[in-house]
Amino acid sequence: MAGVLTRQADDFPQWYQDVLNKAELADNGPARGTMVIRPYGYGIWERMQADLDRRIKRAGAQNAYFPVLIPLSYLQREAEHVEKFSPELAVVTHGGGEQLAEPLAVRPTSETVINVFMAKWIHSYRDLPLLLNQWANVVRWELRPRAFLRTAEFLWQEGHTAHATREDARAYALRVATEVYRDFMREVLAIPVFLGRKTRRERFGGATNSISCEAVMRDGKALQMGTSHELGQRFAQAFDVAFQDADGIRQFAWTTSWGVSTRMVGGLIMAHGDDGGLRLPPAVAPVQVVLMAVTADGGAAAALDGVGAGLEAAGVRIHRDARVDLSYGRRVVDWELKGVPVRVVVGPRELAAGQCSVTRRDTGAAEKVPLGEAVARCQALLAAIQRDMLVAATAERDARVVDAATVPEALSAAETGLARIPWSAVGEAGETELNAHGATVRCLQAADGSVPASEDEAGVVALVARAY
């Protein structure tokens, strides 16, 4: 396997690029900063999307769709929002061969346009809460693109909700961050995340509070995996999203927005991948078990067909690799690059013994299993791999967390991982110093690891790291 990929320890960014290419995940698009997601990469995204969609609907939100072209005047109604997004906007000024009467922004996010329609649809407290979600693409003009992590166009879901009270909006924003995002990342992606509050400097433009899911990659850098925002009444006032309460008094709604994107694919690569390529948790692997015959032996193929039929009947996603014209070693490397969780192989010796060789991608452990027991063993291994990958990723992340007492100590720790430091020792001045040296406060947590109600709360801890 040597030489197939750059070693992580030698050049992590190049390793990442090698994995994108060799595992056939993505390619650069024709316009600068865009990407083409190849079928294998899109298969991973589809698994993510399906599970998230189920969780979002379980939280009560319904899917809708809103236009990709947004009148520029909409974005200008909320001053902080447009200020944050102006450098990233792509704007259409001509259409049909003529200059447009009003420029149109290509959707960077949809708070503005969705609030226009919330104002149209909401009249009474009986219309609340209004819980919406859309799966869409967005465009943000990225100066330093990297596939999946930062691209000019990417895929995501964005939820937008309106509530009758601040308390209901706050509870829903936290529910999404925990029950939808954090639990999905742990249970499906096998990635542990720190859940915390963004500082005033780092929060979403126009938000009163942003809750972030922060993961630590295998090079020690942090990656923001998803965010959920309380928007207070700022957008509701700007777009007149109002309702008659039970006493007949006109009130402005309290709104939230929240989203995760194809950035999670990049996080999946960097949180689990090794020098052999991807290591995919079974829950999102497009192929969970690959079946390989060592040679073109009809008996081996028949044996694997039997195992494959049993796995398919059990709902396992399989692939039969019949490329016996390629060397066995080359095929093994291909599937290790793609991170398929389990590999089942039958060669002449296994066939003679009525066995198959079963190998885990996460640990490389191999065992001989009777053919009649292969289906049950693969199912057990898939469950074990899903569980063990989270345990391993959590241990690796926690080993990179260092307690610090001063900003210089936090900067030193951020060279190789994440620093935990009292927020009172940082403050706005310390945050400026961190930023000047390429580090950021990723989020703030209460002493017990929960999300604080305010950054001014006693005992708040800052998590500091260099980030993607």
Q: What is the pLDDT of residues 51-66, one digit of tens each?
A: 999 999 999 999 999 9
Q: How far apart are CA 360 and CA 254, in angstroms?
A: 49
Rounded mean pLDDT, 243-270: 98
Alpha helices (runs of H) in 61-149, residue ranges in sequence order:
72-75, 79-85, 111-121
337 CB-side CA count, 13 A: 25
Rg (Cα) of the chain, in Å, rounded? 25
pLDDT value of residue 2: 47
Residues 136-170: tens digit of each pLDDT: 999 999 888 999 999 999 999 999 999 999 999 99
pLDDT value of residue 16: 98
Kindly give, in sequence order, each residue whose CB lies less than 8 Å from that of residue 373, ignoring residues fewer than 6 positions away.
Answer: none
Nearest to 379 by CA among 292, 284, 282, 302: 282
Binned at pLDDT 50, 70 and 90, residue 97 comes out as very high
SS3 content of the chain, % helix, strand, coil (to 5): 40, 30, 35
Q: How far apart are CA 257 and CA 205, in angstroms?
A: 11
pLDDT value of residue 454: 93
Q: What pTM was estimated for this model as a whole?
A: 0.95
**Cβ(25)–Cβ(41) under 8 Å?**
yes
pLDDT value of residue 78: 84
The mean-pLDDT minimum among 3-12, 123-132, 281-290, 364-373 falls in: 3-12
* ω into 129 cis (within 30 of 0): yes
Burial 263-296 (b: 16+ CB within 10 A, else e): bbbbbbbbbbbbebbbbbbbbbbbbbbbbbbbee
pLDDT of residue 1 exceeding 50, the answer is no
Alpha helices (runs of H) in 320-373, residue ranges in sequence order:
328-337, 348-353
Angle between helix axes 374-399 and 298-313 (nearest 10 degrees) is: 70
CATH domain 12-272 topology? BirA Bifunctional Protein; domain 2 (3.30.930)
The mean-pLDDT minimum among 18-32, 77-91, 201-215, 225-239 falls in: 77-91
Binned at pLDDT 50, 70 and 90, residue 80 comes out as confident
Q: What is the CATH number of domain 289-388?
A: 3.40.50.800
Beta strands in 279-400 (DSSP E): 289-293, 318-321, 342-346, 355-360, 366-370
Nearest to 259 by CA among 207, 219, 187, 200: 207
DSSP state of 180: I
Nearest to 253 by CA among 131, 109, 70, 72: 131
pLDDT of residue 348 exceeding 80, the answer is yes
Pairing of strands 62-63, 342-346: unpaired
Instruction: Give bridge partners of residue 226 from the DSSP assignment.
Output: 213
pLDDT of residue 85 exceeding 90, the answer is no
State the chain's mean pLDDT as an integer: 96
User: Where do the structural domains in the chain lie, given as residue ranges?
Assistant: 12-272, 289-388, 402-465
Rounded mean pLDDT, 357-384: 98
Q: How far apart are CA 377 and CA 367, in angstroms?
A: 10
pLDDT of residue 79 exceeding 80, the answer is no
Question: If residue 29 lies in a helix (H) or strand (E), which one and from where to where?
Answer: none
Is the pLDDT higher at 79 or at 75?
Answer: 75
Chain mean position to CA 447: 26
Task: Look up residue 400 and give its two tokens.
Answer: 């990179």
Binned at pLDDT 50, 70 and 90, residue 3 comes out as low
